[in-house]
Chains A and B, each alone.
Chain A
Amino acid sequence: MISRPTSVFRAVATALLCLAAALAPGCAPKGIDPGQLRDPDIPTRVRLASVPFFAQQKYQCGPASLAMALSWSGVDTTPSALKEDVYTPGRQGSMQQDLKAATRRRSRLAYEMSGMEELLRELAAGHPVVVLQNLGLGWFPKWHYAVAVGYDLDREKVILHTGRTRAARKDLDTFAATWRRSDSWGLVVLNPGKMPASAEQKRYLRAVLGLEQADRPRAAARAYDAALSRWPDSLTAALGRGNCLYALGEHAAAEAAYRKGLERHPDSPELHNNLAHALLQRDKQQEALEAARKALELAEEDDGRYRDTLRTIRSEARW
């Protein structure tokens, strides 16, 4: 019976291993092939030195991570200043949508990306990325935000500002496994007008729409401008740019924006309709009337608003 403690220890150890194996299928790092990630367009090693570091307080990885990204983008802020907007006491944590909302309310573009390739591309372009990891297991989650500030493909490392550690070097494999549990979600925080390196048209426009929704038309207009330089044929960007200028009360600029959009989309009832409103604001009733008629004529279906536009203009006409 002298050997008892050892056998108990062995049994416990075995049991733990079995348990881990049984409860965590597919959790073992799948093995990232760094060779696959190599891309002639990006350097094999990147380290962003310009991203400030804030150590997190208990449960405060959300505010801390966002503070780093926002500060990098030129917003003067701290984790404690963001806590109210980002942290949810009842969850002892911060939710993704609150990070996005807080970013927009500070007039910054919140662009969501996912996957290792996009992460490396953003870092190579000099953009830090807020990442959401599950450091635990699917059934025993430990959700955690960190800021990716670099990588080293030769040594297979990702560099993170995480928790209380500045520029921690983490194994690429382990990082990929913990990150995958959030569908490899990342947030790029940019000064509006700058393009994410992994910019995809619809995703980018959705991010700009968020700025518009957060009532930041100046910032959104700049971001739509950037969209039009990249995708000149985007109807959304053309309309959005006009709508932002209109919301700012800059009706002459709004008129010009809608007209510019109409050069590429002459048959867009949306552009004609909103142009009519801009013209009305500029006391150009006759032109407004023509634009509103054109909108109604082009509209395949009308939920009543095209007619409303026409009615509004007629009732305000002074003749």
Chain B
Amino acid sequence: MRSLIAIRKPVAMILALTLFTVFAGLGPAYASMIGTSEVLETESRELDKERLLNALQREEVQQKLQSWGVEPDTAEARIQALTDRELARISQRMDSLPAGGDAFGGLIGAAVFVFLVLLFTDIMGATDVFPFVKK
């Protein structure tokens, strides 16, 4: 177990480096060329660290999408079209991002609503559904 923990860091670094090389391929052909984002987002100048972090974030976001039923290839393509800045903004809060779906429906939501209404009317004394509401 201890040895597992010991190798976790290097494995993560290798993974990150691999991803970095993959994604760096999207930028200018030479590694020593300056990417457009670097002059636009001057605050993100600490380059290598940022990019390594970003490679990990990309991996995380991709896995999240896959866990929500998006095909691996599609998930990767979706993420590749996002800038580092955009990715940094969403990666920590994927679960709470709004997902526009439907104007109606949502069984669970409706159930919650009915529960709250009944709870309230129970407290008001107009209904008597929940035994735990004391009058």
Chain A residues at the B interface, C-beta cutoff of 8 Å: 8, 11-12, 14-16, 18-19, 23, 58-59, 61-62, 65, 84-85, 88-98, 100-102, 104-105, 132, 134-136, 140-145, 162-163, 182, 202, 205-206, 209-210, 212-215, 235-236, 239-240, 243, 246-247, 268, 270, 273-274, 277, 303-306, 308-309, 312
Contact = CB atoms under 8 A, between A and B. Distances in A.
B118 to A, nearest CB: 10
Given A11-B126, A236-B36, A303-B48, A94 B101 contact: yes
Contact of B101 (A18, A59, A209, A268): A59
Contacts of A142: 102-104, 106, 109
B47 A210 contact: no
Contacts of B105: 58
B99 A95 contact: yes
Contacts of B65: 88
B83 interface: yes
B132 interface: no
Contacts of A143: 98-101
B32 interface: yes
A94 B100 contact: yes
B5 interface: no
A105 B79 CA distance: 11
Given A205-B40, A209-B40, A89 B69 contact: yes
Contacts of B28: 243, 246-247, 274, 277
Nearest to B77: A105
B110 to A, nearest CB: 9
A90 B69 CA distance: 6
A182 B78 CA distance: 22
Contacts of A14: 124
Contacts of A100: 81-82, 86
A239 B40 CA distance: 10
**Which 10 residue pairs of A and B lie closest in terms of their CB atoms, listed nearest first?**
A90-B68, A93-B99, A93-B101, A89-B69, A11-B126, A214-B81, A101-B81, A308-B32, A91-B99, A240-B36
Interface residues of B, number: 54
A61 B100 contact: yes
B117 interface: yes
A11 B99 contact: no
7 contacts: A23-B116, A88-B65, A93-B98, A93-B101, A144-B101, A239-B36, A304-B32
A308 B28 CA distance: 14
A95 B98 contact: yes
B21 interface: no
B102 A59 contact: yes
Nearest to B94: A95
A101 B34 contact: no
Given A62-B100, A101-B79, A270 B38 contact: yes
B18 interface: no
B121 interface: yes
B36 A206 contact: no
A237 B113 CA distance: 51
B131 to A, nearest CB: 19
Interface in B88-135: 90, 97-106, 109, 112-113, 116-117, 120-121, 124-127
A213 B83 contact: yes
Contacts of A18: 120
Contacts of A213: 26, 37, 80-83
Contacts of A243: 28, 33, 35-36
B71 interface: yes
A18 B81 CA distance: 46
B32 A312 contact: yes
Given A210-B83, A212-B36, A305-B31, A144 B102 contact: yes
A15 B121 contact: yes
B39 A235 contact: yes
A92 B40 contact: no
B7 interface: no
A128 to B, nearest CB: 16
Nearest to A214: B81
